[in-house]
Amino acid sequence: METMSLLLLCFIVGVKSVPIDFGNQRIMGGIQASSGEFPYVVSVTYNDQHHCGGFIYNLQWVITAASCAYGKYPSELKVTVGQLSLNNVDPGEEIIFVFSIRTHHAYDPVTKSNDIAMLELATPITIGPNVNWVMYDEIDESVPYGTFVGWGATQNEGLPSLKLRKANLAISTNCPTYYPSNDFNYNTMICAGDANIGPCAYDEGSPLVQKISNQDVVVGIMSKNQGCGPNFPPSVFTRLSVFYSWIQNQAGVQPTRPTTTATVPTTITAPTAPCFNCETAPPVQQPGILYQ
């Protein structure tokens, strides 16, 4: 009887301690996205498992982080568009094979500088109510936050979230406090998030979005952080506008505005705000299996 009482006491103490620890590690403030709310967000799978996020640039190309594709073969990656749930088939959901990978020529896998890649799809994306492309631009730092969207883990070292989630992230200036100078470059990176909310594992490549003229505009893609949850520093995002020339050189023109048909205008819209340290793209590479 005494042994049973002691075991019961240990069980009760153990149960009480688990929620406190788990709660402290959760990303706070994120909520589930609704169907069609972010039709441009994609899941990049590696060997058929969710690996990273990304967004639709045009009918043939997806932008993600170079760290999501570096060292991998196109045959190992697929892109799922129109997805809300990782374990259910959603309206408009389509799985598309990757034809080629274009990582930025100056990507550094150690510091993750120039952390951007483009995935050329084997077949065009079918545009619909839950699937569409999105424009990108320079971040408006007069707006104190951006919206982050992804399937990342909801706790440090956790599994991907089964549902697409969104959260408002504070635009921060604190990254130089936590990252060495070779790990954070203001000209090519954005600092966002705080101790209460931020991206987690499997969120790499997912977009940071702002409303510009009442339209979603992607301003950054998740690159790296030092962990997620309370007491972790802000996350680092690739500043997209810097890579305008490189993106255009790889994937060609982008439509002037989202369309509900498969017809893509041939005009291109450049980022309207000035970008920092904008680069001149090298000569375009010829289509092939792998560019790294």
- Could you report the per-residue pLDDT of 239-287, keeping only the tens digit for each? 999 999 999 999 998 877 544 444 443 343 444 444 433 443 343 443 3
125 and 56 in one domain? Answer: yes
At 125-152, the pLDDT tens digits run 999 999 999 999 999 989 999 999 988 8
In a domain, 180, yes or no: yes
Task: Of 111, 139, 119, 114, give the one whose Cα is nearest residue 245.
Answer: 114
Task: Of 167, 185, 170, 251, give the one whose Cα is nearest residue 224.
Answer: 185
In a domain, 7, yes or no: no
- Separation CA 145–CA 171 (nearest Å): 5
Please tell me the total count of domains within the chain. Answer: 2
142 and 103 in one domain? Answer: no
Amino acid (1-letter code) at residue 35 = S
235 and 140 in one domain? Answer: yes
171 and 129 in one domain? Answer: no
At 84-125, the pLDDT tens digits run 888 888 788 999 999 999 999 999 999 999 999 999 999 999
- Separation CA 158–CA 86 (nearest Å): 15
> What is the residue range of 248's domain?
41-134+242-281
248 and 225 in one domain? Answer: no
Q: Is pTM beyond 0.85 here?
A: no
In a domain, 6, yes or no: no
Is residue 291 within 8 Å of 100, Cβ to Cβ? yes
Evaluated on CA atoms 30, 34, 38, 39, the torsion sign reads positive
- Separation CA 227–CA 236 (nearest Å): 11
CATH number at residue 204: 2.40.10.10
At 142-196, the pLDDT tens digits run 999 999 998 887 656 556 677 898 999 999 999 999 999 889 999 999 999 887 7
94 and 166 in one domain? Answer: no
At 44-83, the pLDDT tens digits run 999 999 999 999 999 999 999 999 999 999 999 999 999 9
